[in-house]
Amino acid sequence: MEKAHDKVWNSCLAIIKDIVEWQHFKTWFEPIRPVALKEKILTIQVPSQFFYEYLEEHYVNLLAKTLKRELGKEARLEYRIMVDSGNDKNKPLTMDVAAHGFKTFSNNEMDFPLVINNPVKNPFVIPGLRKMQIDSQLNPIYTFDSFVEGDCNRVARRAGKTVAEKPGATSFNPLVIYGGVGLGKTHLAQAVGNEVKRLHQNKVVLYVSSEKFINQFQDHSRNNAINDFIHFYQLIDVLIIDDVQFFNRAEKSQDALFAIFNHLHQSGKQLILSSDKPPKDLEGVQERLLSRFRWGLSADLQVPDYDTRIDILEKKMKNDGLDMPREVVKYIAYNIQSNIRELEGALISLLAQSSLNKREIDLDLAKKVLRNFVKTSSKEITIETIQKMVCEFFDVSYDKLLQKTRKREIVQARQITMYLAKIFTKNSLKTIGEHFGGRDHTTVIHSCQTVKDLMDTDSLFRESVIELQQKVQLAAM
């Protein structure tokens, strides 16, 4: 036989279900359990204090109207928060609840008294700590200063700086950083978090990997505490979630992320996400989540070019107080092209071998160490090889490349050839110039600078140079 409190509450739910959006109904009303009905006072049990506060802020009028419709104008509502501390000796407190949702403690009997038993749970720290005591989980070494900027990451890095200066107040919300393995996604995402903490000390920042998020959700699900989990994350000002592509295997975790995302975004909080691919290519992730990922800015991290790889190595060496011959730095940058992680790994291995064998770092040692990282060149790239490849690419005869002509297409082809010869061969500037009809080293310097300037201003020119670089690199393998 249906109990009186169940009957009244089910009648209320039948009305509320037709008014509230389905997902909101599932999140905020299905977890509620009616526990008692006495003298037109319906007592409902809710999972947490935060849950109660959310109902009071968003649905108090709806609850009041539906309950009065069922019980009359004298109807009243009481909340009871679940107890899981095992201590039943705590005396309940009552709370004044104004219509607009602000609350003050009182011993008077009011329209909506509250029994308080348990605060919102924190998955990262000891339960009971204040909001500002949440550990950000950030690694302090990941900063903008240690993140080398180049053509491969300029947009993402500058967007991150903008977000750090005004979290939640720009159009870059969410900021989605995507790219392949070892290109610096985690570094950049955490750099934003560390910069927010430096500039806005009152902001609560939290970094979490998708794997940890999913594991936490599953733990809370087993303990029937999903709402506590969601409510905790809704307290964060800047939420950073790493590797969101792994949500493809966690459907229910996606539901929790959806609720958290909506609340934070609507509250003007900042979300930063990282992924191995752009949102449009993420498989197994709900479309409603993907559409929200596309609300802000998606910025990619590409494989660093040769010059950026040198800058990364020099930055690493400077930070660690290291020194090595320039030719060794260039050799590592030339041969390690896949990602930054392998680049730094090669440097660390080289230093380790130097220390263990008590041997100075030189080119021979570098070649020996790098055999463990890449297939080293089976042949040396010559100036003649590069000249031939450029002539074929631009459909220019070898003879014209050497002539003293001012035709734009010939001049640019010659300048690009000099630029590539400087990068991929060990020849001096004088030697390179001699291979182009006896030109001097100043012509080579001017040509290289012209190519760099054009790559910064002409996207089609830049694409041509990059394509040629890749062809030369493949020829060297």
What residues in the chain have per-residue pLDDT under 50? 83-120, 125-132, 376-378
**pLDDT for the residue 398:** 84
Query: ∠ CA(354), CA(356), CA(361), 5° rounding?
Result: 5
Pick the last residue of a domain from 285, 301, 317.
301
Q: Report the distance separating Cα 262 and Cα 30, nearest Å.
A: 19
**pLDDT for the residue 177:** 95
Cβ within 8 Å of residue 476, ≥6 positions away:
377, 379, 381, 424
**pLDDT for the residue 464:** 87
**pLDDT for the residue 402:** 82
Residue 144 resides in a domain: no
**pLDDT for the residue 100:** 30
Same domain, 244 and 199: yes
Same domain, 277 and 316: no
Same domain, 366 and 405: no
CATH number (domain holding residue 462): 1.10.1750.10
Tens of pLDDT, residues 401-428: 888 888 888 899 999 999 999 888 878 8
Same domain, 37 and 74: yes
CATH number (domain holding residue 327): 1.10.8.60
Same domain, 190 and 111: no
Same domain, 259 and 366: no
Residue 403's domain spans which residues? 383-476
Same domain, 177 and 272: yes
Same domain, 341 and 278: no
**pLDDT for the residue 194:** 95
Token pair of 217 as six digits:
């959700």
Same domain, 387 and 366: no
Whole-structure pTM value: 0.54
Residue 137 resides in a domain: no
Same domain, 210 and 273: yes
Domain count, the chain: 4
Same domain, 269 and 337: no
**pLDDT for the residue 195:** 96
